[in-house]
Amino acid sequence: MPQKPLVLDAPVPEKRAHTVEALQAEILEKLTYSIGKDAIVARPHDWLKATILTIRDRVIDQWMESSRETWRTSNKRVYYLSLEFLIGRLLRDAMSNIGVIEPVRAALKNFNVNLDDMINLEPDAALGNGGLGRLAACFMESMATVNIPAYGYGIRYVHGLFRQEMSEGWQVELPEDWLAHGNPWEFERQESSYEIGFGGHVEPVQEPDGSTRLEWRPAEHLLAVAFDTPIVGWRGKRVNTLRLWSAQPIDPILLDKFNAGDHIGALEESARAAAVTRVLYPADSTPSGQELRLRQEFFFSSASLQDIVRRHMQAYGDLGTLSDKVAIQLNDTHPAISIAELMRILIDLHGMKFASAWKVTKATFGYTNHTLLPEALETWPVALLERMLPRQMQIIYAINAEVLGEARAMGGFTDAQVANLSLIDEHGSRRVRMGQLAFVGSHSINGVSALHSDLLKKTLFSDLNRLYPGRINNKTNGVTPRRWLLECNPELTKLIAGRIGPEFLDDVDLLINLDKHADDPTFQDQFKAVKRANKAALAQVIKDRLGIVVSPDAMFDVQVKRIHEYKRQLLNVIEAVAQYSMIRSHPEKDWVPRVKVFAGKAAPGYWNAKLIIKLINDVAKVVNNDPAVRGLLKVVFLPNYNVSLAETIIPAADLSEQISTAGMEASGTGNMKFMANGAVTIGTLDGANVEMLEHAGPENMVIFGLTADKVAEKRIRSEVPRAAIDASPMLREALEAISSGVFSPDDPNRYRDLIGGLYDHDWFMVARDFDAYAAAQRSVDDLWIKPRKWYSMAIRNTAHVSWFSSDRTIKEYATDIWNVPVAGGNG
C-alpha cells in the first residue's frame, strides 16, 4: 500500500521577520555559529555565506510547506529533465523574490558591508552553455511563480562548462571551479541514491507461472546521489526543487589493488565515476568522448526516472496511473534515452506488458525540440548502445518495430519515407536517432517559436508529423521578468513603477501601460539617463577587464550569445570592417559613434567558431588603436560570458543583434531580454524575432535579410555566392582586407579559408545578406541621431515585452501539454 509521508503532520514554523533588526541578528548568528567567525575579522566571503544561510532559512520554511501542500493535495507534478540549468547567482534572485533586498542591504550596512560588492563574490553555477540552460532556469522559476509543483533534474557538474580566457586573441578553455569552496544553497540527499548500470548482458529469467522475462545484468555500477537546491517563485509563495545528480563509486577504493601496490589502479572506479559528472559537454570527437557523453545522459535520465517512479509508488502504489500524476518534459534530445529506460523499468522491474508500458510512457512524456539542424539532433552508434545499454537497445528495436508497423498499416509511405521514420539510421554506420525516439515516445512535441514549430512539421519531422498528426505544437519561449528586468535593471524598474505604478511587478501585462508614455520627452530623458548609467557601468567593466576605454555616449551595439556560424557573428564583424574602412575614407562625414560588444563561447572542437573569436579580437586590436578612427568605432570581446556578465551587458545595450540565418534559430531568448531592457533589435525574420515583430510592431524593430523560404530556395538551387560578392564593392573590399592579412599581419593566411568559404558555398548566407545588413545598420544610424524617435522605439519595446514572459510560456505548457492547474503568476 502507498504510504503518505509523516511530514504532513509536521508543525509549520512561525514566519520569520523581514525587519532590518531581525536580519541583522540572524546574519550575525550565522557568521558566528555556522561560519565560526567574529564580525571583527570576517572577510567578504564570510559575510556572503552568512547572508546566504540567513536567506536560505527563509526559503526553506516555504520549501517545506510547498512540499507538504503537494502531498496533501496529491497534485500532479511536473518533472523537467535538462542536461543544462544555467541558474546563475542565486542570492539576489532569492532576496528579490521574497522581498528582502533593501532590509538586507540596510542590515549589512550596519556591519560596513556593501551588499552589491558582496553579491558579486557569489560564483556562477557552471551548469549550462547558453539559451537551452538559461531557458530551463527561467522555467523553473516560473513554475514556482505560477504554483506548479515541479522538480528540475540535471547533473551536478563539478566544473561544468569551461571558463573562457583569451591568449593573444584565441579562446583558451580552463576548468570552471564554481564548487571549489562548496555551495551553501544545496543539500545532499544521501537517502536519494540510485544504482546506475552500464554494459553487461541481458538474461531470460523463468517466472513461477512459466512465463519468461528479460533481466539486464550490468557489468558496471555507480551511484547517483541527489543534491537539492530550492528555487524560489515570485513573492516566495512556492519553492520548487532543482535536483542535481552527482556520480559516486560503489567502492571508493579497491583495497586489494591498493595493498598489492597498484595505488593508482585502486582508484580507477572513483575516477571513472567522477568523470561522469566532471564536465558539461565533453568533446565527442573520439570514441571515448562519445561514450562519456552517453554515460552522462543515461546516468541522469535513469537516476531521475528511478526517483520519479519511487516517489509515485510511495504515494499511489500503481504505475498504471503514472501519467495522471506525473508529467515529464524532455528539454531537447539529451534525455531522450529516458523513453527506453522508463519502458525497461515498467516492463522488467514492474511486470507491465509492452503495450501497456508504451501507452503509459507516451502519455507521460513531452519533448521540446530546440533545433532544426540535423547535426544537432543526437545520434548514437548502434554498436555503442548495444555495448553500453544492451537492454535499452532491445527496447529501442521493439519500439521501432511498433512505429514502422503503424506506418505500414497507414500506408502511403515510400521506402525512403519509411527509412526516414525509422529510429535507426541505416545510411553509413548504423546509428540510433534520439530525436526520433523522443518524438515517438511522447504525446506532445513542441517547437519554441511559431516559425520553428511550422518548420518542424514541414522539414525535420515531416514524415513523423504525417504518421502522428497533431502531436507537434508551439510553445514560444519566454524569460523570467524578475531576473531580466526587476533584478538586472533596478533603476529602470523604479522608473517604470514611478510612471505606471508598481502593480506591474505582480502582473507584467500591465507594462503595456508604458506605451502611452513612449513619446513623453520627460520620460524619454529619464529612460535615457537610466540607460546611460547602465552603459557607464558596462564601460567600467570593459576598462577593468580589457583596458579599453569606451564612451557611454556612443551607441552600444551588442551581440552576445554562443559563437556559431549560423548566429553570424562573422556577418557582424565583416560589417564592422566595412564601417572601419568607410570612416577612414570619409572623415568629413558625421559618423555615429559605436561600441560593438561581442561575447560568447565557442565549443572546444569547433574550429571556425574559435577562428571567428580570434578575428573579432584581431579587428578590435587594429580598429581600437587607429587614430584615424578618432574613437568613432570600438570593438570589444568580453571573455567568459555567463549569466552575471549578461546581467551587466543587457541593460546597457542600445542595439540588440539578432541576425541568425533565417530558418536556423529555433527561438532565441536573448532577444527577449534585450527587448525588456529597452534595446532596439536589428534582426532577421528568424525564431521568435517574428513574434517580437508582431508584438512590438515593425516600426520599433529593424528587420533585414532573406526569409527562411528564400534561404531554402537558394540552397536548393546551389547558387554560387561569388556573384553577390562581386556585386558589392563594400563587401568585396572588407573580405579582401580580412583574407589578405590586414588584421593578421603575423599570419596573413589565417582567415583565407574562413573567407574562402563565403565565396565557395556561403551556407549561412553571410555574403547574400551583407548588403541588406549594411543598409539596415545605416538606417539604425539615421534613427540614433533622432533621439526622440530612438527612445520612443526603445520604450515601446519594453512596453510590449510581457507576452515574452516565461510565466506565459509555462501556463501554455501546463494547459496544453501537462494538464496541471496554474495560479496567476506575474506574466
Single out the residue of 478, 580, 428, 547 nearest to residue 139, CA to CA.
478
Catalytic-role residue among 56, 452, 517, 567? 567
Ramachandran bin of 182, using left for φ above 0, alpha for ψ from -120 to 50, beta for the remaining angles: left
Tell me how far apart the alpha carbons of residues 554 and 594 are, in angstroms, rounded to a whole number.
Answer: 5
Are 568 and 659 spatial neighbours (Cβ–Cβ below 8 Å)? yes
Tell me how far apart the alpha carbons of residues 472 and 457 are, in angstroms, rounded to a whole number.
Answer: 7
Q: Is 798 a catalytic residue?
A: no
Tell me how far apart the alpha carbons of residues 208 and 112 are, in angstroms, rounded to a whole number.
Answer: 74
- DSSP string covering 381-434: EHHHHHHH-HHHHHHHHHHHHHHHHHHHHH----HHHHHHHSSEE-SSS-EEEH
Tell me how far apart the alpha carbons of residues 778 and 152 are, in angstroms, rounded to a whole number.
Answer: 45
Q: Is 350 a catalytic residue?
A: no
First to last CA, the chain: 41
Tell me how far apart the alpha carbons of residues 763 and 715 are, in angstroms, rounded to a whole number.
Answer: 7
Are 669 and 656 spatial neighbours (Cβ–Cβ below 8 Å)? no
Are 128 and 86 spatial neighbours (Cβ–Cβ below 8 Å)? yes
Listed in order, strand segments (DSSP E) in 603-696 are 633-638, 655-658, 680-683
- DSSP string covering 89-144: --HHHHHHHHT-HHHHHHHHHTTT--HHHHHTTSPPP----SHHHHHHHHHHHHHH
Sign, CA dihedral 665-670-672-675, equals negative
Residue 743's CB is within 10 A of a number of other CB atoms, namely 24
Q: Which residues pair with 326 in a beta bridge?
A: 77
Catalytic-role residue among 54, 669, 681, 798? 669
Single out the residue of 224, 227, 219, 265 nearest to residue 248, CA to CA.
224
In sequence order, which residues have a C-beta less than 8 Å from that of residue 625 and are 6 or more positions away? none
Catalytic-role residue among 76, 243, 278, 370? 370
Cell of 414: 515510400
Check residue 512 and report its DSSP letter.
G
Q: Is 543 a catalytic residue?
A: no
Q: Which residues pair with 81 in a beta bridge?
A: 153, 330
Catalytic-role residue among 163, 471, 673, 800? 673
Tell me how far apart the alpha carbons of residues 344 and 214 are, in angstroms, rounded to a whole number.
Answer: 10
Q: Is 669 a catalytic residue?
A: yes
Q: Is 37 a catalytic residue?
A: no
- DSSP string covering 720-751: -THHHHHT-HHHHHHHHHHHTTTT-TT-TTTT
Pairing verdict, β 379-381 and 431-433: antiparallel
Single out the residue of 253, 257, 260, 445 nearest to residue 336, CA to CA.
445
Residue 495's CB is within 10 A of a number of other CB atoms, namely 17
Classify burial at 354, counting beta carbons within 10 Å of its beta carbon; exposed 0-12, middle 13-18, buried 19 or more: middle
- Residue whose cell numbers read 504532513: 8
Tell me how far apart the alpha carbons of residues 626 and 620 are, in angstroms, rounded to a whole number.
Answer: 10
Residue 336: C-alpha distances to residues 81, 434, 760 (Å):
10, 6, 37
Catalytic-role residue among 562, 601, 634, 768? 562
Q: Is 476 a catalytic residue?
A: no
Tell me how far apart the alpha carbons of residues 285 and 604 are, in angstroms, rounded to a whole number.
Answer: 10
Residues marked as catalytic: 370, 561-562, 567, 669, 673
